[in-house]
């Protein structure tokens, strides 16, 4: 039974991560521009468990949706990096997502607090 529970939880956690990844990336970009590898490391340090290659299709989509724009910057480490930064549309989307997240989170906190 314990194995089944763990499997269920792993699958559920994976779905949760997938659903929240866009929010996580937009949050990571809210303070400063970052490139793909920085974002992967940031996500993994926060235990969001994203695989290395997955970030790039996601960033490509966010760019196509005009939530981020990009710029190649040579920061003097030998080669240029492609930096991603939030657009006004991306910032507005993030703000709306955070509002929804807080409402959602508060509703669950309330339900879990009830005896």
Partner 1 sequence: MELPDYAEKFLKQLRQGLGSLTPQEREEIVAELRIHLLDRQAQGKTDLLSGFEPPEDLAATFVSERALRGALGQGTPWALSRALLISARDSIVTLLLFLPLALLQISAFVLLLAAVLKPFMPKQMGLWVGNGSFYVGASDGNPAVREILGWWGVPVLGISGIFVFWIANRAMQALARRRLRRAKSTVV
CB 24 within 8 A of CB 97: no
In this structure, what DSSP letter does residue 30 have? S
State the minimum distance, in angstroms, from the CB of residue 41 to partner 1. 10
- The residue from 30, 36, 91, 97 that contacts partner 1 (CB under 8 A) is 36
- The residue from 31, 57, 76, 113 that contacts partner 1 (CB under 8 A) is 57
- The residue from 47, 78, 88, 115 that contacts partner 1 (CB under 8 A) is 78
Angle at CA 108, nearest 5°, toward 104 and 112? 170
State the minimum distance, in angstroms, from the CB of residue 114 to partner 1. 30
Which window, 4-12, 19-27, 89-97, 105-113, contacts partner 1 (CB under 8 A)?
19-27
Among 80, 82, 81, 54, smallest CA distance to 69 is for 82
Q: Is 96 in the site for partner 1 (CB under 8 A)?
A: no
- The residue from 2, 4, 5, 19 that contacts partner 1 (CB under 8 A) is 19
Q: Which DSSP string do the residues of 64-109 spell out, in sequence order?
A: HTTSEEEEEEE-SSSSEEEEEEE-HHHHHHHHHHHHHHHHHHHHHH
């Amino acid at each position: 039974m314990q194995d089944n529970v763990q499997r269920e939880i792993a699958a559920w956690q994976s779905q949760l991560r997938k659903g929240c990844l866009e929010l996580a990336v937009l949050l990571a970009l809210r303070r400063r521009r970052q490139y793909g590898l920085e974002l992967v490391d940031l996500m993994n340090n926060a235990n969001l468990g994203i695989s290395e290659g997955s970030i790039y299709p996601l960033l490509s989509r966010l760019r196509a949706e005009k939530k981020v724009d990009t710029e190649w910057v040579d920061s003097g480490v030998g080669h240029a990096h492609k930096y991603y930064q939030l657009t006004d549309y991306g910032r507005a989307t993030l703000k709306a997502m955070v509002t929804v997240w807080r409402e959602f989170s508060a509703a669950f906190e309330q339900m879990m607090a009830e005896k």
